[in-house]
Amino acid sequence: MKHNYKRIAGCLSLCGALAGLLLLPAMARAEAVPLEERLQLCAGCHNPDGNSIIPENPKLAGLDAKYLARQLKDFKSGDRTNEIMATIIPMVDESEFKALAQYFSEQKRSDGVTEKPDLAAQGKQIFDEGIIGSAVPACSGCHNEDGSGTNKYPRLNGQNPVYVKNQLMNFKNGIRTNDAKSVMRAVAKRMNDAEIEAVAEYIVTLKEAQ
């Protein structure tokens, strides 16, 4: 517990500093603004085209609009938690979610590269076939072989590996709980850290099939 408090305190001070930097001109109160203006706020972390180059931050480009809108709603309600988003989301009005989600869903997802091809090869095995011994289903079953996803299962191809790894760890440890059908928690709990890392390294190499 002690350790946790320390971590939380550390995160909070980091957030405070970041928030201070980012939000100097803005009031921490939701007020709807035009899409173009709002996008400037998102672009700082997610890039103007939604293809974030910061490893910890997800690429939003090409994600399903309904999925994106739901994530925004969940950040707002606290059903999904993230230290940085927690400082940003209070400024965005709920009426803006739909247009924001639509904008990012229409952007083209950029390709990614792995710096660990050997690990990615191990990840491919898990992504395509699952892990039979520990009853981990193949990721491709729901997210498609090319990671393109559907309106129910989010797009994965080219996603930043640090972000994917963090999300899987969060599902595994019960920190992220907004998977509508609690299926991702069930899957991630059956994976060890090395398997999670390998899958994340493979996902970044995926390119949408033409």
Partner 1 sequence: MMKTLLSICVALLLPLQAVAADAYVPKVYGKKGYVWDEMTPERVEVLRLGGDPVKGKEAFRGCRGCHKADAAGVREGVYPRLSGQHTSVLIKQITEIRAGIRLNPKMLPFVEDPAIALEEIGDIAVYLNQVESLRENGKGPEDMSAKGKKLYFANKCDTCHGKNGEGDAAKAFPVLAAQHYGYLMREMKLIETGARGNSHPEMVKAIAKFGQSDREAVADYLSRLPDYRTLAAKPAAK
Please report which helix (H) or strand (E) contains residue 188, including its range. helix 183-189
* 8 is a contact residue toward partner 1 (CB under 8 A): no
Q: Which positions from 137 through 156 interact with partner 1, judged by CB under 8 A?
A: 137-142, 150, 152-153
Nearer to partner 1, 13 or 150 (CB): 150
Q: Which of 128, 118, 138, 144 is closest to 197 using CA atoms? A: 118
Amino acid at site 114: T
- Selected from 135, 173, 192, 193, the binder of partner 1 by CB under 8 A is 135
Is 186 a binder of partner 1 (CB under 8 A)?
yes
Residue that has been written with the tokens 């809108």 in this structure: 69
Return d(Cα 103, Cα 60) in angstroms, integer. 10
Q: In angstroms, rounded to a whole number, what is the distance separating the alpha carbons of residues 133 and 200? A: 20
Instruction: Candidates 58, 62, 123, 130: give the one binding partner 1 (CB under 8 A).
Output: 130
Q: Measured from the CB of residue 150, what is the shortest distance to partner 1 in angstroms?
A: 7
* Residue number with CB closer to partner 1 (50 or 130): 130
Q: What are phi and psi of 85, to 5 degrees?
A: -60, -30
Residue ranges in contact with partner 1 by CB under 8 A: 130, 132, 135, 137-142, 150, 152-153, 180-183, 186-187
